[in-house]
Structure 1
C-alpha cells in the first residue's frame, strides 16, 4: 500500500473514530468520502480497512473486536488488486473483499452478517435490479443499509458510467438523509503529475466545455495531441518499454459485442482489438500482452497507468462553432443505456446519456500519472486541440 500523507492519516483516524462510535448501535451510520479520480480515495480506504481488520482480529479491548467486516467494490479488475493486497497483509483475508451482489445474496441467505462495510467506487453500485448479474433488489446501497451497522463509502458522480448504476450526489444524499452520517470532500490530485490548470481543463471538457489547452500543463507531465493514431500507439509502446504500465485506451463508438470474439478499432493504419475478458488474477493493465489491445473503462477505471494514449471515438465531434457535440447514435456500448423507469422525461434522459459518455472520457483522461496522449476521430476536434 502507498504511504499516507499527514492529512490522509488524519482522515483515516476520523473515520475510525466515527466507526467505533457507531459500531455497537443498531445502525446504520454512514461516512461518505467524495472526490474526483486521482484524489487518493482508494489508498485511504485500503489503509482504513487494514486497521479495521487488525483491530477486529488482534485487539480484544477494541470496540471492533470480533466484528465481521467486508470491503466491497463492484469492479472485477479492481477487486483483483485488493485481493492481491490481502495476500501481503497479515490480518487481511482474500474473502474479506467481495463484489456487492455476492455479499448481498449471502446476507439474504443468512450465510454471513456484516458489522462494517467499506465500499470503494460506490458510484458503481447498482441503483436498479440487474437479473443478469443476480441482483434482484432495487438498489444495492439500500440493501446493504439494512444489513450493516456502519458503512464507509467513496463516491464520485463524474465516474458514473451506466444507467443501471446511475447516481448523482443529490440521489445519494437523499437516500442517506434518514441515517447518522458525515462526509468529507477530497480535492488534491495525487495521481496525475499535471498542473491544476490541466486538471481543470479536463473537468471542463468532460462537462461539454472545450477550451484551448492551457500553457501550463505541469513540469513533470507529458501532454501530446496526435494527428495519427498509429503514431500515438508507437509512442505508447516506446514508453511502455521504458517505464512500463503504458497502454492505449478508447471511448466507445467502435464495433464491440460481448460474444467472445475479437472486435477491432481501426483509425487509418491503427488496427488493434478491444481488451479481451481477463480470466486471470492479474489486472488487465499489468498483463504484458495487453500492450497489443485497447483498454476500455471496464478494464482501466480505478487504475494508475504511467502513460495513457486515449482515442476519442466517433461519438465526440466539434461543431463549426467549436462546440462539443455528443452523438448518442454513435455509441456502441449497448450496456450503458439500459432503460430506467425513474427517468421519464425525454430531455432529461438525453442529457443523462450524454453525461455518461463524457464521464467515460473523464475516467480515461485521468489514468496517466506521467502523461496523456490524445487522438480524436473527429478531424476538427483534433485540429482544435492542436494536433501536429
Structure 2
C-alpha cells in the first residue's frame, strides 16, 4: 500500500509505525470495542496534549476494526457497523483522502457529526461502534446554522450507537456553542461504563521539555525565561515582516511552514480578501476554499496567507510564525499576560454564553485555548511577534536575556 508523501497523510496513515505506547493503546481500543460492540452505552475517552498522537491511534484502530468487521464469521466484531466522526472540515478532507489509499477503508465511513445524527434520527438506525476525533469540537447546544436542531451532539451520538471511542481535550475548546470541560463531559456521560486512556509522549515538537513547558505557562498567563538554545528553533521578532521572510525561507527549504495569527484582525466570509497589517507586514487571511482537495495547511500557495486556529487545528507544520494580535498584552506590574476580549474579532466564538458560567472568564479561556493551538503546531521551530508594544518589549527582553545562538 502507498500513500502520497504528503506529511499529514503520512502522519495519520494506519500503516505508519506506532510507538510501543501507541500500539498498546490501539490494542486497548480493540479490546474495548470487542467487549462492548453488542452492548449499550460504553465510552472510551482518549486524552493527551496536542502532539501526542491521538488521531493516528484512532485511525489505526479504526482501520483494524474495519478489517475485522469484514470477516464473514468467527469474530465477535464480524458484521459490526462503524463510523468515524470529526467536526472539522479540514480534517475530514484529510481522513477521506487517506481512505482512498488504504485497503478496507471507505470514504463514506468518515462523516460530520450533524450528518450522522440527522441520518440516524431519520432512519432509526443504531451504529455499533462510533469513533469521534476532536470530540471537544462537538456542538454542545442547538445550532440551526449548522442544521443541528437538538441540544447536544455527543448526547445524540450516544443514543445512536452501542459503543463510542472519542478524543477529548478541553484545552482545544474554541467556541461557546462547542463548550466542554471535564465536568460537563462527566455530567453528560453519567453512569455509563467509561474507560479513560491517556497518551503522554510528545511527538510533534522535536524539542526539549522547556519548550512545551513555556507554551503551557504562556497559556496560563505566565512568562517563563525563554527555552534554552537547542535544535528546536524558538525565536522572538520585533518586526512581523522579518519573521515572515524567515518563514518563507524555511518554506523553500523544507516546506510546511506557515504564518498564523490570533483572531484579532477583521475577517468576514464575504468572498473578499481581508488582510492583517503589522507595520511593514501586510498579508491576507486564509481564503475559504471548501472545494479545495487539500486542507489549508497542506497547500503550497498558503505560504502567502495567514492561517487561523480553525484552519490549522489538528495539523502538524515544520516552522510556524505566530502573530499575537492586539487582544494579547502584558502587565509589567504583575509580570503576566493580559487579554482583552473586546479586541477578539471572532465574535461567533462568543455567541451563546447563556448558562455556562462566568462569560468573561470563559471568553478569556477560549482565547488562551486558541493561542495554545497556534503555538503547538510546529515540529521544528516557533517564531513569535507581538502586536502590543508592552508584550513585544517583554518578549524581546527575555530573548536578549537568553542569548540567540541556536544549535
TM-score after normalising by structure 1: 0.96
Mapped pair 1:280 → 2:292:
yes
State whether residues 265 and 273 of structure 1, in contact with CA within 8 Å, keep that contact through their aligned partners in structure 2: yes
Give 1:111 shift. 7.3
Give 1:378 shift. 1.3
**Residue of structure 1 equivalent to 2:308:** 296
SS at match of 1:209: coil
SS at match of 2:322: strand
**Residue of structure 2 equivalent to 1:9:** 23
Q: Deviations over 1:158-177 (max 9, x none)?
A: 10000000000111112113
SS at match of 1:291: helix
Equivalents in 2 of 1:234, 1:180: separation in Å? 52
**Residue of structure 1 equivalent to 2:206:** 193
Equivalents in 2 of 1:285, 1:49: separation in Å? 24
**Residue of structure 1 equivalent to 2:167:** 154
**Residue of structure 1 equivalent to 2:367:** 357
Give 1:184 shift. 1.3
Mapped pair 1:328 → 2:341:
yes
SS at match of 2:94: helix
Give 1:214 shift. 2.9
Equivalents in 2 of 1:130, 1:89: separation in Å? 34
Alpha-carbon RMSD: 1.3
Equivalents in 2 of 1:46, 1:189: separation in Å? 18
Match of 1:22 among 6, 20, 36: 36
Give 1:136 shift. 0.6
The count of aligned residue pairs is 382
**Residue of structure 2 equivalent to 1:235:** 246
Q: How does 1:1-388 map to 2 (within 5 A)?
A: 1=13, 2-25=16-39, 27-58=40-71, 60-110=73-123, 112-215=125-228, 219-278=230-289, 279-321=291-333, 322-343=335-356, 348-386=358-396
State whether residues 125 and 160 of structure 2, in contact with CA within 8 Å, keep that contact through their aligned partners in structure 1: no
State whether residues 206 and 359 of structure 1, in contact with CA within 8 Å, keep that contact through their aligned partners in structure 2: yes
Q: Deviations over 1:157-208 (max 9, x none)?
A: 1100000000001111121132111001222111111111111111111122
State whether residues 212 and 384 of structure 1, in contact with CA within 8 Å, keep that contact through their aligned partners in structure 2: no
State whether residues 142 and 151 of structure 2, in contact with CA within 8 Å, keep that contact through their aligned partners in structure 1: yes
**Mean alpha-carbon deviation: is it higher for 273-282 or for 350-359?**
273-282
Give 1:211 shift. 2.1
Equivalents in 1 of 2:279, 2:301: separation in Å? 22
TM-score after normalising by structure 2: 0.92
**Mean alpha-carbon deviation: is it higher for 204-213 or for 69-78?**
204-213
Give 1:37 shift. 0.6
State whether residues 303 and 367 of structure 1, in contact with CA within 8 Å, keep that contact through their aligned partners in structure 2: yes
Equivalents in 2 of 1:3, 1:163: separation in Å? 37
Gaps of 5+ in 1: none
Gaps of 5+ in 2: 1-12, 401-407
Give 1:110 shift. 0.4
Give 1:210 shift. 2.0
Equivalents in 2 of 1:340, 1:382: separation in Å? 32
Equivalents in 2 of 1:184, 1:113: separation in Å? 25
